[in-house]
Amino acid sequence: MTRPIYVALDTPDLERAKAIAARVKNHVGGLKLGLEFFCANGHAGVREMAAYGLPIFLDLKLHDIPNTVAKAVQSLSPLKPAILTIHASGGRAMMEDAKAAAPAGTKVVAVTVLTSLDGTDLASIGLADDPHAQVVRLAGLARDAGIDGIVCSGNEVAAARKAWPGGFFVVPGVRPAGGDIGDQKRVMTPRAALDAGASILVIGRPITAAEDSDTAARAIEATL
Ligand SMILES: O=C(O)c1cc(=O)[nH]c(=O)n1[C@@H]1O[C@H](COP(=O)(O)O)[C@@H](O)[C@H]1O
């Protein structure tokens, strides 16, 4: 079976990212490289991580006018990431143009409501809907834009999948039972998130901040 865990290698330190990848590579389905890694290591760093032979999830959460996002996606195309993130709140035209610019084989997925936000945070930026309603709204927009899927928390994935049965659903904000939630606000256990309909799980600190990342990844895998 395809392993559902993508480990988030959130570090600017290429050697540290490589060390963790080497430890966990037999227990994860892919490597997620985000802004922290990419700003420090760029294309060359991504190529080094691709050498582990696992799919690369390039999580740059692009969010700008359609032309700028499409050109940025073109600039990333030589890396042929398996998955690339944009922000759904950039709007339908931005999502359409990002997909059109992406290489064949790259899944373009849109972040809906960050898992670090709750209803109070949405109200503070002028969004009256709660996270659940906002995720379902943006899932419909992403589906209509013709991209591949969305990023949402485990709390919304069942409703989003109902609205978009063929979508690809990325779920971060994943914590083993009793795990430290840190800056996340909408969290779920790995097992519950898969049961709710997640296609893949993004897990960072529960693995990367553990004393032994290999043991932590195995323990999480055993719950699935
Ligand atoms: O797009 C993402 O991956 C993402 C979206 C979101 O809403 N929340 C979220 O936490 N993420 C990413 O998922 C990872 C979560 O890391 P941990 O909280 O350490 O498990 C980080 O790399 C975040 O950038």
Separation CA 126–CA 38 (nearest Å): 31
% pLDDT > 90, the chain: 99
Q: Can you tell me the ipTM of this complex?
A: 0.99
Structure tokens at 26: 């037999």
Average pLDDT rounded to a whole number, residues 181-189: 98
Question: Domains, the chain, ranges and CATH?
Answer: 5-222 (3.20.20.70)
- For residues 82 and 135, the answer to whether their CB atoms sit within 8 Å is no
Q: Please tell me the distance between residue 183's alpha carbon and the centre of ligand 1 in angstroms.
A: 10
Active site residues: 59, 61, 64
Average pLDDT rounded to a whole number, residues 60-79: 98
From 84, 202, 203, give the residue whose CB has the most ligand 1 atoms within 8 Å, as the site to mutate: 202
Residue nearest to atom 5 of ligand 1 (CA): 114
Separation CA 198–CA 5 (nearest Å): 11
- Entry pTM: 0.98
